[in-house]
Structure 1
Amino acid sequence: MALPEPEPGLVVSYAYLWHREAVAGLDEGRKDHPGVIVLSVRQPRASPMVTVLPITHSPPHDQAAAVEIPAAVKRHLRLDDAPSWIVVSEGNVFDWPGYDLRPTVTGGGYAYGFLPPRLFSRVVTAFAGFHRRGRSRLTSRS
């Protein structure tokens, strides 16, 4: 299976490590989640540094901390029909491809596809707002 290029907006299958799990001393995610690459920074003579935001079925406690994924986008990505949110208040940062990419549940690789540009723009704006205010929790996975 070929690895995709780590492009912003790409939804990948990933063993996401929640910030609360990292604080509790875990170093592996308990469950594979779809995640959105929100940032990919090319480094000279090194792998890209990637930031992935998790997608979850759990409704957010703080509405500003997540962006809901429209049903049509979920169908396009071949995700399940349950409501889902992209969490913008935390993320995992790692050298691509890392150890935590997983094959998708639909088969055919590690990626589900890309978010539509308008939805991705909302995600980036919300994530940047949390980060700018010092409220984002980024967990290093490298």
Structure 2
Amino acid sequence: MSIPVPKPGLVIRYSFLWSSEQRRGSIEGSKDRPCAIVVAVPRGERGQIRTIVAPITHSPPIDPETSLEIPAKICRDLGLDDGRHWLRFDELNDFLWPGYDLRPKPDGRYDYGMLPKTLFEALRKGIMEAQRRKAGRTVNRED
């Protein structure tokens, strides 16, 4: 399967590196997970695309201000498992598309589909609020 064009709201499979893993010296995420593309903008003369993703996790948030639960119907539409899922506002990864950490799903596709517009807007607003409160952490994966 071919690698999709990155666009905000697209959910991809990605080896997400949490800031706590980076602090412990890891340079690779401990597992591949669904992540929502938040930003995808051209950068540089070689047509590179700066991409920022937010992770989707099964772990309930310690602080409810840092996450948004994804409705079960949307999880089913994306092909996620039956567990509960949260979009995190306070942890992001920044990389050049497609990078080394984009991973194919077992069916060979790299994406799960698009978040509905209203859910994407809630994610975007949550990230902006986390950044305003200085509660957000972004791990740069370009290096």
- TM-score w.r.t. the length of structure 2 is 0.95
Structure 2 Cα separation of the partners of residues 44 and 51 of structure 1: 16
Residue 112 of structure 2 corresponds to which residue in structure 1? 112
Residue 14 of structure 2 corresponds to which residue in structure 1? 14
RMSD of Structure 2 on Structure 1 (CA): 0.9
Deviation at 1:38, TM superposition (A): 0.6
Structure 1 Cα separation of the partners of residues 112 and 45 of structure 2: 28
Structure 1 Cα separation of the partners of residues 122 and 108 of structure 2: 28
Structure 1 Cα separation of the partners of residues 79 and 40 of structure 2: 24
Residue 102 of structure 2 corresponds to which residue in structure 1? 101
1:52-105 deviations in whole A, cap 9, x for unaligned? 111000000000100101000001000101001011101000000000011124
Residue 80 of structure 2 corresponds to which residue in structure 1? 79
The ranges of structure 1 where at least 4 consecutive aligned residues each deviate by more than 3 angstroms after the TM superposition are: none
1:3-40 deviations in whole A, cap 9, x for unaligned? 11110000000001011000110000010000000111
Structure 1 Cα separation of the partners of residues 108 and 102 of structure 2: 13
Say which SS state the counterpart of residue 12 (structure 1) adopts.
strand
Identity over the aligned pairs, expressed in percent? 44
Q: Does 1:136 align with 2:102?
A: no
Deviation at 1:132, TM superposition (A): 2.2
AA at the equivalent of 1:126: G
List runs of 5+ in structure 2 lacking aligned partners: none
Structure 2 Cα separation of the partners of residues 81 and 117 of structure 1: 22
Residue 34 of structure 1 corresponds to which residue in structure 2? 34
Structure 2 Cα separation of the partners of residues 131 and 41 of structure 1: 19
List runs of 5+ in structure 1 lacking aligned partners: none
Say which SS state the counterpart of residue 127 (structure 1) adopts.
helix
